[in-house]
Amino acid sequence: MNNRSHIPPDRATVRVRALAIGFAAAAAIGATVLVADAGLQDGFQIWDAFRICLILLTTGWLAWGAALSLTGLWPVRGARNGTVKLSSSSTVVLVPICNEDPVATFARIAAMDGSIREAGLDLDIVILSDTRSVDGQAAEQAAFRMLIAETQGGGHIYYRNRTDNRGRKAGNVEDFIRTSGGAYDYAVTLDADSLVSGSALAHMIARMDEDPKLGLLQTLPKIIGARSFFGRAMQFSSSFHGPVFTRGLERMQGATGPYWGHNAIVRVSAFAQSCGLPELPGKAPFGGHILSHDYVEAALLARGGWRVTADATIGGSYEEGPENVLSYAKRDRRWCQGNLQHMRLLRAPGLAGWSRFVFVQGIFAYLVSLLWAAFLVTTVAGTVLAPEPDYFPDVYQLFPAFPSDRSREITALALGIVGLLIMPKFAILLKSAITRRARAFGGAVRALGSVVVEILLTSMLAPVMLLFQTRAVLQVLLGQDGGWPANARGEGALSVTEAARASGWIVLTGFVALGATAQLAPALLPWLLPVTLPMIGAPFLISWSSQPVGQSVFRVPEEIDLPPLVAAYREIHQRWKQGIRTARPVSSEPMEAARVPA
């Protein structure tokens, strides 16, 4: 297929994009007018110019997110349900791993293999290990023997540990596609914590068969197994809000859709033709291997003329999420570096315009934290450096003219920003109550409680996350390489001491900001308390939100009706951990050369 032949957007996609951009622009302009009007009250300064630029960008970003969710509210036509015709296409399931818990990872594979067989599918499963330590490799091989015994011989399941780890996960998959991909029509890419049911895989394969131009189909993985308050809030948001946001994304991006690196299916020939990733010149963080490779691979597929889409209606796709703020921030640091690295790719030849726009969105998703921090600083600076008010501007004025305290503009701006943040969530709640979708979340009243508590939690944690992201952006811009830290899965609760070690600098920042505001601009103190108090209490917030909680709040459908795949995984994992069953030894050699056609 020819390069630089991306599929143009249809009329519906163009209309949705125009409406979303128009809404975001209108909201940004409205906020900018309020800030400009407030600045004119006491004489326009350079700080007001900075604030106007910053509020234009940050409010536009918030409004864009709101537009994305509102776009996904109207119903989906032709949602797929029921069984599908089994395909004769050859498909492989790829599970790249590196320094993971092998017992948990291979137990997931065993559960998926059972679900695949129940669905009547005949798929190969290949575990692609990048683990380097001898002990880690030995543990993986022991778990592999358990897996083979569990699957009664597992002649369709393979494990290989490569000796050259170039390119990390993307390089691992690319190596398989190059050496063994010719044996398959499609490849399903997973993460170590992924679970995908046989029924979901059958739907994904059928979609690929139906559309020869479809290069990649991304499912919406729902978070499962969360235990902490923070983790369960993310789990609820993923399940309740996620499908609506993803539908909005589908409509917005059209054929130039997203790829999140896992729980997706790719056409092997398209991937092989289009997705060879370069190593960027120079040193990390902006040079070297591309970290956020999934966005780039989606853009390269679109450039090659392949359709890339997401489908939130395909059920049976799951993953795990971080259980505390520190684990989330650690993962987010890598994503920050990967997204900012895309600055190097904005002018890559032949990319679709929307692919470049997606890169810009990913970059701005992190820069916006820096911009919000700058807005707060310039607001305080502008108030401190504002000229003394002139109470008698006219020579013959009898009574003093008191300047406006700008409370009207500040209140309107604050309400507008809060509205952009919470309006989409309550719109989703209302729609779910009307369509009775909320029943799966414990009913409309319980869903309302979950939405309100999730909003309160994210509001309290927002200043803390703002500082973590701001630090990450500054580190990358200053040339600090964060590397590729191992994922922390299943981590436990954090003590206040542990949280304080990681967030002491946030506490200090909060105290300094609060003291400076009280001393220099006391009029702004009430407005900055919601920002500074969570910073000061960061260790307690981080520790408290990491503690395990029950299912009284943030209930999701998978807890009311446990999916068979999840139940099977938990049973196998628990049994393996207890060592009830002993597996017979089998070889853990790499895939046979005969698997690859000449």
DSSP 354: H
Range from 22-36, 71-85, 452-466 carrying the lowest mean pLDDT? 71-85
Q: What confidence score (pLDDT) does residue 594 get? A: 33
Alpha-carbon torsion, ordered 98, 100, 106, 112, to 10 deg: -80
* Residue 592: predicted pLDDT: 40
Task: Name the DSSP class of 31.
Answer: H
State how far the Cα of 90 lies from the Cα of 125, in Å rounded to an integer.
Answer: 12
Cβ count near 496 (within 10 Å): 12
Give the pLDDT of residue 82.
64
404 vs 497, more confident:
497
Does the structure show a pLDDT above 50 at 412? yes
User: 84 or 244, which is more confident?
Assistant: 244
Give residue 597's pLDDT: 32
Full set of structural domains in the chain with CATH:
91-277+301-320+564-580 (3.90.550.10)
Cα dist from 360 to 16, 44, 470, whole Å: 19, 31, 18
Question: What's the pLDDT band for 79 if we cut at 50, 70, 90?
Answer: low
What's residue 337's pLDDT? 95
- pLDDT value of position 485: 63
**Mean pLDDT value across residues 439-451:** 95
Cβ–Cβ < 8 Å for 403, 383: no
Q: What is the pLDDT of residues 273-300, one digit of tens each?
A: 999 888 899 998 999 989 999 999 999 9
% of the chain exceeding 70 in pLDDT:
88
Of the chain, the end-to-end C-alpha distance in Å amounts to 22
pLDDT score of 584 more than 70: no
- At residue 408 the predicted structure's pLDDT band, cuts being 50, 70 and 90, is low
Rounded CA gap, 542 and 103, in Å? 29
For 287, phi then psi, to 5°, come to -105, 180
- To the question of pTM greater than 0.85 for the whole model, the response is yes
Residue 125 pairs in a beta bridge with 93, 157
**∠ CA(527), CA(427), CA(560), 5° rounding?**
110
Q: Spell out the residues 6+ positions from residue 78 whose beta carbon is closer than 8 angstroms to its own.
A: none
pLDDT at 37 (0 to 100) = 80
Residue 155, pLDDT score: 82
Q: Indicate the pairing of strand 264-267 with strand 186-189.
A: antiparallel
pLDDT in tens, 85-105: 888 899 999 999 999 999 999
Q: Does residue 403 surpass a pLDDT of 60?
A: no
Kindly report, residue by residue over 367-388, the tens digit of the pLDDT: 999 999 998 888 888 777 766 5
Q: Which of 392-401, 415-424, 528-537 has the highest mean pLDDT?
A: 528-537
- Side by side, the strands of the sheet bearing 214-219 are 157-161, 124-129, 91-97, 186-189, 264-267, 214-219, 307-311
Q: CA–CA separation, 509 vs 274, rounded Å?
A: 46
Q: Mean pLDDT of all residues in the chain?
A: 88
Looking at the predicted structure, is the pLDDT value of residue 593 above 50? no
DSSP secondary structure code for residue 256 in this structure: B
Name the pLDDT band for 586 (thresholds 50, 70, 90): very low
Supply the DSSP string of 456-470, one letter for each residue.
HHHHHHHHHHHHHHH
- Please report the pLDDT score of residue 576 as a whole number: 94
Question: Is the confidence at residue 214, as pLDDT, over 70?
Answer: yes
pLDDT of residue 80: 56
Residue 487 has pLDDT above 70, yes or no: no
Confidence band of 539 (pLDDT split at 50, 70, 90): very high
In this prediction, residues 418-436 reach a mean pLDDT of 93
Alpha carbons 547 and 232: distance in angstroms, whole number = 11
Whole-number pLDDT of residue 1: 40
Mean pLDDT for the stretch of residues 107-122: 96
Instruction: Identify which of 118, 60, 64 has the alpha carbon closest to the alpha carbon of residue 86.
Output: 118
Q: Single out the residue of 38, 39, 57 nearest to residue 48, CA to CA.
A: 39
pLDDT at 167 (0 to 100): 85
Q: Which residues contact 598 (CB under 8 A, 6 or more apart)?
A: none
Mean pLDDT to the nearest integer, 404-430: 81
Confidence category of residue 390, pLDDT binned at 50, 70, 90: low
pLDDT attached to residue 384: 75
In whole angstroms, give the CA distance from residue 129 to residue 145.
15
Residue 78 confidence (pLDDT) above 80 = no
pLDDT in tens, 310-321: 999 999 999 999
Average pLDDT, integer, range 432-442: 94
- 115-128 average pLDDT score: 95
Instruction: Look at residue 596 in the predicted model and tell me its pLDDT.
Output: 36
pLDDT (0 to 100) of residue 77: 62
Q: Give the tens place of pLDDT for each residue, 252-272.
A: 999 999 999 999 999 999 999
